[in-house]
Amino acid sequence: MRVCVNLRNEPTGSSESERPSSVVTKGVPPPDSCNQLQPEKPTSAQVRLKKQIKVKEFLVAEGKGAHGWAARDASGHLSPFNFSRRVPRDGDVTIKVLFCGLCHTDLHVIKNEWGNAMYPLVPGHEIVGVVTGVGPGVTKFKAGDTVGVGYFVDSCRSCESCGKGYESYCPQLVQTSNGVDLLDGATTQGGFSDVLVVSQHYVVRVPESLPPDGAAPLLCAGITVFSPMVQYGLNAPGKHLGVVGLGGLGHLGVKFGKAFGMTVTVISTSPSKREEALDRLGADAFLVSRDPE
């Protein structure tokens, strides 16, 4: 209920509860025309209309109140933001957020450096938390499970990429933060908040053996490095791996390489990275790329 009050206090009309209708109704017949369209197979307009009606249902029944940190302009500053998560749909998981990593993509989006920021904007897509509730049809998770959510929270689920498990290439990918929900048109808000509602298809299990804070960066930076290393056979013991640059992804490249049993050389422009590469991360060798020898 606290969130209801806060939403009404939003001065600009840009709260999540008001944004969707203007987005989803674009180009869609008004509800009164529904009865005029009764072919056996629903037309695409009808499908869109059903989605529009669903939006109204969601808006009438407000979801769980959430408290987060949002960017409201391109200044780079975040400030407290109260909003409402969606009412859980079939297959949705409700998550209490414990930790969220900070990816450089968040910084680009917060500052609108890619020109696509939809303020107010809650960043964060390296999320680890605990399941607090599951909706009808959830089979993969139960309350109490430690889980993670990465860069995206929905996709079309029917294209070739989705069929192969490469949802990240889906043309209708919905980003976890600053994305557009495929059903209700709301702006998705990320993990710099206390609660998340996500379809179980886009939630991964975090093993109990992993510290949840350390696991969070694996949800974007980690998979960005891990996936191509495995795909191109760089996970074989005895192979030599060169990691160019130690600035985030490089850290993970070194750690994965060592975990795979590889001999790892860090190549950096900065001699000051030597100690971190060799002593902290366990690389086998260190080269300064500017060294003429």
Task: Report d(CA 173, CA 218) in Å as an integer.
Answer: 20
Site for Zn ion in 206-235 (CB under 5 A): 220
Please, which residue, 43 or 158, has the CB nearer to Zn ion?
158
In the bound state with Zn ion, the residue whose beta carbon lies nearer, of 215 and 283, is 215
Q: Does 52 bind Zn ion (CB under 5 A)?
A: no
Measured from the CB atom, the residue of 103 and 229 that comes closer to Zn ion is 103
Q: How far is the CB of 10 from Zn ion (least distance, A)?
A: 28
- Residue 104: CB minimum distance to Zn ion, A: 7
How far is the C-alpha of 277 from the C-alpha of 183, rounded, in Å? 46
Residue 78: closest CA among 67, 89, 65: 67
Q: How far is the CB of 87 from Zn ion (least distance, A)?
A: 24
Helix (H) or strand (E) holding 95: strand 92-100
Q: Which is nearer to Zn ion, 92 or 126 (CB)?
A: 126
Site for Zn ion (CB under 5 A): which residue of 159, 244, 267, 287? 159
Tell me the closest approach of the beta carbon of residue 292 to Zn ion, in angstroms.
Answer: 36
Identify which of residues 159 and 183 has a Cβ nearer to Zn ion in the complex: 159
Read off the amino acid at residue 25. Answer: T
- Least distance between Zn ion and beta carbon 161 (Å): 5
Q: How many binding residues for Zn ion (CB under 5 A)?
A: 8
Contacts of 52 (CB under 8 A, 6+ apart): 21, 24, 25, 28, 31
Nearest-angstrom CA–CA distance, 3 and 21: 19
3-state secondary structure of 254: helix
- Distance in angstroms (rounded) separating the CA atoms of residues 188 and 122: 8
List 156, 210, 244, 278, residue binding Zn ion (CB under 5 A): 156
Nearer to Zn ion, 88 or 190 (CB): 190
Sorted by sequence, the CB contacts under 8 Å of residue 186 that are 6+ apart come out as: 16, 19, 20, 23, 86, 180
**Helix or strand holding residue 104 (H, E):** helix 104-110
Region near Zn ion per CB under 5 A, out of 5-13, 22-30, 159-167, 246-254: 159-167
Site for Zn ion in 163-192 (CB under 5 A): 170
- Answer yes or no whether residue 103 interacts with Zn ion by CB under 5 A: yes
- Cβ atoms of 269 and 249 within 8 Å: the answer is no
- Output 13 or 171, the one with its CB closest to Zn ion: 171
The residues that touch Zn ion, with contacts defined as CB under 5 A, are 103, 105, 155-156, 159, 162, 170, 220
